[in-house]
Structures are given as structure tokens and as C-alpha cells.
Amino acid sequence: MTAPTGCPVADGHASEPGDIRAEAEEFLRLFHGEHPKTGPVAPRLQQVLAEIDETGTYRHTEGELAFGARVAWRNNARCIGRLYWQSLRVRDMRKVRDAATVAAQCAEHLRSATNGGRIRPTVTVFAPDTPTQPAPRIWNEQLIRYAGYWDAETGAVIGDPRYLEFTEEVTRLGWQQPAQRTRFDVLPLVVETPEDGITLHELPRAAVHEVELSHPEHNWFAGLGLRWHSVPAISNMRLAIGGVSYPAAPFNGWYMGTEIGARNLADQDRYDLIGEVAERLGLDTSNDQTLWRDRALVELNRAVLHSFTRAEVTITDHHTESARFLTHLSKEEDAGRKCPADWSWIVPPMSGALTPVFHRYYDTEQLRPEYVLDEDARLRGTTAAPRAFPEPVAAVPPKLPRIRRLSWFTRRTPVPVP
């Protein structure tokens, strides 16, 4: 996701990124402007600016943190599902900096967001970067992703080709691949901190909810052995609120069917299942004019929607979500706010011209608060490189005290030399 929102600064212009005082003021004016009951902004602004002068940063109140995270979703130019931005559950884990607890709370995030299939939009906000202490980083693009293995015998990839390099690197770092490799082996979480370095953490099976895929009409489809995880929790984007950065802030909504059926399972550099599905459907693949790819794509997406619905796991279709987005757009305009949108992301990856979001232009101005995908984080999410911090220096063991050579009758009680 990304993020924008009308930022009511005195002159109407957003501050330059990196100016924490200006960004803090911009955010606080926005927060108090949308929450009149909090009173005038001046006292809080004075407090924050004094804290910045003293420490180089400041701490958000719980209310400011929750508002900032929700507005970052509201402002996400690449997300079509923003109508329910106010429902985002914010888990405040800013006290957490150690890798083991970060991983444990990511697992708890998944359990809580899954909610028995009634997916709850959730963000877990870990410790922020400060001038004196960098924050934890989560390498994975999403909390749940599947491994990709190169099969030398067939010259093909088992699993998700997108994560082939990531899988190879975490294996080098010590991950034990399953004895029986499959197309849907969940990758470990990779958490990096300045203190612990790079650490690997297996997600508990109970935290990984998956849906087995079948088709409403074609019984053979279940025999393909396909499945997908229920919660799309993005985990390598930085939450930026008022000049404060939270590099580890995994967040999720729920799936739109085409994300799975038209991209993850269909893209040629992913699971590339269109040809296999077309063959099983008995389609004529000898000529592009038979539109066999389009027909196979529709049936693959029908299977995804059917399977999630039958499993009682929240999912939405691209027609419904397109209509909801225009409702969201209308509400934002009525509130006097800008609503940036990236057309190439908002328009669904199938039947685009049949959806209302296709037939209009959008404001593309980037606003704050926002979810930011930094270039190094993007690379780590697929290649597991580069590392975020220098490798921790191993602690040098303390020197043992020298022992004075004593006469024979006192050697049992050596005396350390001061």
C-alpha cells in the first residue's frame, strides 16, 4: 500500500520529506483538525517540538498512532479496498525491539487477523527508528509466502518462482527445508535487528490459515492440489507518521480474488497455471483467437472465489470492490479530502474495462501519513539482500585473571593479581 490525505498545513503545501519538525506539525494539524474534541493543536505541538529539540524525535500518543496508521491506509494510492480504513485495528507493539518477540507478535497478528475466517484489517506497529537506536526490520514481503525451489532434474521451479532467491538465501542462513518439498511450503520469517543480527523464525502452523482450492463445477480442479493463505499481510513497508518511521509494521486487509487467481497463480513468473487449467478444461490452445487464456483465467478466478466463500473466509470480487472504491472516493471528496489513486493498481488485472474504476482519471499526488516501500526493503523481500545493519561484532570473552605462582603449601588457594 501507499498513503495520502489532505494535510491542512497553514499554506496548504506538504513539507519536504526528512524535516521532522515540519512533518510533525503537518501531522498534528491533521490529527487535531479531524478530531476537534482533542482541543487546539498549539499545546501538543509545543510539547512535540520541545521533545524533538531534546531527543531528535518524539513519541506518538496511542490516539495519534492509531489515526496515523489508518490515514496511511486511507491514503494508499495502490489499494482499491480503502472504504473501510476506519475499521483498521492497530496493535501497539512499540515497546518490542528484540527479534524473538517481533516474530511471536507477527504470529499473533495472523491469528487475530484471521478471526476464524472473518478477516479483520489489522496493523501491528513495532518500535520506531530513533536517532540513537535503529528499529527491527522484517525481510519478508508478506508474513506468509511460499518457498521456491529449483529442481535440477526437471529444470523447473517447485513452488513460487518469485521467492527462489529468497529461499536459497534463508537456506544458506540455516533454514531446514522440508524433507518432502511441495509447492506451498511456508517460508520462515526473517527478522533483523542491530543487536541480534539476522534471525529465522518458523511460523506456527496454527497461525497459517489456508484455503484448499476447488471449482464449483469441475471436480478435477481439487485434484490439482492448490491452496492459498487467507491473510495478505504486507510486512516490508515502512509506516511513516509525522516524521517518525516504523520500519516493521505488518498490515493486512482481505483478499480480492484476482490477487490470487489473476496474479499469484496465473502470472508467468509466479505459479503460471493458465496453461495447465486450459488443458484440463479441454480448450483449443492452438490459436490465440479462441481466447483460451481468458477462459482459463475466468475459471481459475471462479475457483478462488468459490473456495474462499465455501470455507467462510472473507474475500471480495473485483466488480464489488471497484464499486466500493468509487463509494470511498465520493466520501473523501465530500469530506474535502484528496484521494490519490494509481490507475495501474486500482484497475483489476482482469475484465478491467467492465469495472467502473477503469473509466476515469485519478489524483496521483502523494500525501502523508503513508506506507513506504523503500528500495532496500523491496530487494530484501525477494532476494534476501542487502542486510539492513552491519553484522554484529561478536563479544570478546573477558580475560581470566592471572594467577600468581605460590609456594607449595598455598597453591590450593590461588590469589588473583589485582
Residues assigned a catalytic role: 79, 82, 254, 259
Question: Which residues, including other chains, have CB under 8 Å from residue 288's CB and lie 6 or more apart?
Answer: none
